[in-house]
Amino acid sequence: MAATLTSKRFTVRDDTDAIELAFDKGWSDGLPVVPPTEARVRAMLDAVRLEPPQQVAFIRDRAVSITAEKVAINAVMAGCKSEYMPVVVAAVEAIGDPRWSYHGPGTSTGGAGVLMIVNGPIAGRLDVNAGDNLFGPGWRANLTIGRAVRLVMRNVCGSRPGTLDRGTLGHPGKLSYVIAENEAESPWTPLHVERGFRPEQSTVTVVASDAPHQFYNQLSNTAEGVLTTLADDMRISGTVMGQSTYVVVLAGEHMRTIAADGWDKKRIRQFLFDATQNSYAHLKRTQRMSGDIAPGDEQKMRPLVASPDDIFVVAAGGRAGAFSCYIPGWGSAKSSQAVTKQVKETS
């Protein structure tokens, strides 16, 4: 016999009243939610073969246990299909990983979003968008999977704006921030394989991240030309004081130009690491670093991240248009690290 659902029940006249109840109780992110009836919640749990009380993650900083029942309820409210539930569970496992360090990105005035990059066969099966309008509307999987994780953060962990979530500005990715890598057209090793998984495995990589910064280059027909434009923009982005990660998303035209020159992801990372360093003098002149300019500060350089490996290169976005983007990570590697979890499918 399946374990009993233990969450508090509310009686309402219809779905409209249920939606309004969610607003009144503060369970919504500002948009209407799907009422989490027992049948809908059970369908989510069945999709991952988890019993309601099973722990999916433990948020050490909050001393909060996130159970499968709570994940399922929030996945229903977010509008997920039951087949999305394995990705939601893996992402919740990732935000509970001590390396991600929930308290920092979940509470900081920096207002980090939870960027999720889906890799492997499940991305295609669920139609997780890796192409046109990459970060925009139009794909149920992208929007509802990310929304489910944010609702878990809000309703289970207490990360509500103005209380535990102290983001000064925030950004739209805090509602939902999910993409897939375009492995079908990419000439490069997929992100999850670079991070130690097999190509046939499905994963989600979770990164505490700022908003995407788009850049444009239609003039260059070489890898170095495109990446020089990107590096010039990246160099003065974010806190420029040793961030945890940068995710570089290269869309169709730029991807093909760079690949045609024979550049792989390792070479791209190294070029960007070298070309985005700032001198101590520049950082002090622009009030990003304290202290007076000292002899040698014009030659002394500081990188954006600790190592080239902290720059994640992802092939995704539309086939047409000379646009790509980069996404600064939140905090330093000591504050929050990217975490990749396998998506465990039951079929």
Amino acid identity of residue 221, one-letter, is N
CB atoms within 10 A of CB 1: 3
User: CA–CA separation, 200 vs 164, rounded Å?
Assistant: 39
What's the gap between Cα 153 and its chain centre? 14
User: CA–CA separation, 242 vs 246, rounded Å?
Assistant: 10
In a domain, 190, yes or no: no
In a domain, 244, yes or no: yes
Look at the chain and report how many structural domains it folds into: 1
In a domain, 304, yes or no: yes
For 154, phi then psi, to 5°, come to: -75, -50
In a domain, 322, yes or no: yes
Sign of the C-alpha dihedral, residues 157, 90, 106, 38?
negative
For 64, phi then psi, to 5°, come to: -120, 130
Q: Which residues of 215-239 are buried (b: 16+ CB within 10 A; e: fewer)?
A: bebeebeebeebbbbbbebbbebbe
In a domain, 291, yes or no: yes
Bridge partners of 55? 67
In a domain, 312, yes or no: yes
For 161, phi then psi, to 5°, come to: -55, 135
* Cβ–Cβ < 8 Å for 206, 217: no
Tokens in use for 92? Answer: 């919740």
Bridge partners of 57? 66
Q: Concatenate the DSSP letters of all residues of 259-302 into one string.
A: HHTT--HHHHHHHHHHHT-EEHHHHHHTTSS-S---TTTTT-EE
Q: Print pLDDT tens along the chain (347 aa).
A: 578 999 999 999 999 999 999 999 999 999 999 999 999 999 999 999 999 999 999 999 889 999 999 999 999 999 999 999 999 999 999 999 999 999 999 988 988 999 999 999 999 999 999 999 999 999 999 999 999 999 999 999 999 998 999 999 999 999 999 999 999 999 999 999 999 999 999 999 999 999 999 999 999 999 999 999 999 999 998 776 778 999 999 999 999 999 999 999 999 999 999 999 999 999 999 998 999 999 999 999 999 999 999 999 999 999 999 999 999 999 887 889 999 999 998 86
User: CA–CA separation, 56 vs 79, rounded Å?
Assistant: 20
* Range of the structural domain that residue 262 is part of: 212-329
Can you give the three-state secondary structure of 142-174, one letter per residue? Answer: HHHHHHHHHHHHHHCCCCCECCCECCCCCCHHH
Q: What is the pLDDT of residue 2?
A: 72
User: CA–CA separation, 261 vs 248, rounded Å?
Assistant: 18
Tokens in use for 61? Answer: 């900083």
In a domain, 187, yes or no: no
Q: What is the pLDDT of residue 1?
A: 52
Q: What is the pLDDT of residue 61?
A: 86
In a domain, 278, yes or no: yes
Tokens in use for 174? Answer: 């805090």
pTM score, whole prediction? 0.96
End-to-end C-alpha distance for the chain, whole angstroms: 21
